[in-house]
């Protein structure tokens, strides 16, 4: 069994849902060594989130952002307001979607479905770079089954 852990920095993105599968994979060449395992991704922030969703139609990302804004609007009477009107709604959205993903790994690849991709959901207007800890665990191709 092999363990591997790495921090990945994703560039700053505007508010919205962004497909980051390629960005994540580019930073994880070690995946190619795993025959069977798990890749856990953990976002080290409370005002953004990770999600798996549609990777083909950009409209899904637009509609997801609009839906999240309807669920957690900026004009709600929040108590926590010191960091601006987009901060508390960002915390709500992050709590709803979550900050981690567990993705199976097989034959050196993430076993995402045909239409699935990894999203970074940026809930702040100016969130800055985001840090993801990737932890990979599994059997390597050189190990006996």
Tokens 């962004």 correspond to what residue?
18
Q: Which residue(s) pair with 88 in the sheet?
A: none
pLDDT of residue 141: 78
pLDDT at 143 over 80: no
- Closest listed residue to residue 93, CA positions, set 40, 39, 21, 17: 17
| Strand (E) or helix (H) holding 71 | helix 58-71
Q: What is the DSSP letter of 29?
A: G
| Domain limits, the chain | 2-140
- Closest listed residue to residue 12, CA positions, set 96, 124, 99: 124
- What's the pLDDT band for 41 if we cut at 50, 70, 90? very high
CATH number 3.30.160.100 given to 2-140: no
**Mean pLDDT for all residues in the chain:** 96
pLDDT at 142 over 90: no
88-119 pLDDT tens trace: 999 999 999 999 999 999 999 999 999 999 99
């Amino acid at each position: 069994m092999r363990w591997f852990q790495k921090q990945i920095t994703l560039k700053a993105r505007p508010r919205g849902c962004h497909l980051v599968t390629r960005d994540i994979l580019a930073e994880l060449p070690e995946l190619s060594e795993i025959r069977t395992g798990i890749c856990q991704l953990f976002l080290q922030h409370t005002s953004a989130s990770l999600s798996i969703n549609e990777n083909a139609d950009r409209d899904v990302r637009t509609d997801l952002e609009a839906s999240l804004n309807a669920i957690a609007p900026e004009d709600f009477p929040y108590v926590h307001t010191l960091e601006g009107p987009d901060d508390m709604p960002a915390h709500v959205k992050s709590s709803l979607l979550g900050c981690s993903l567990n993705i199976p790994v097989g034959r050196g690849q993430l076993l995402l479905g045909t239409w699935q991709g990894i999203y970074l959901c940026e809930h702040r207007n100016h969130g800055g770079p985001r840090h993801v800890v990737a932890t990979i665990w599994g059997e390597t191709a050189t190990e006996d089954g």
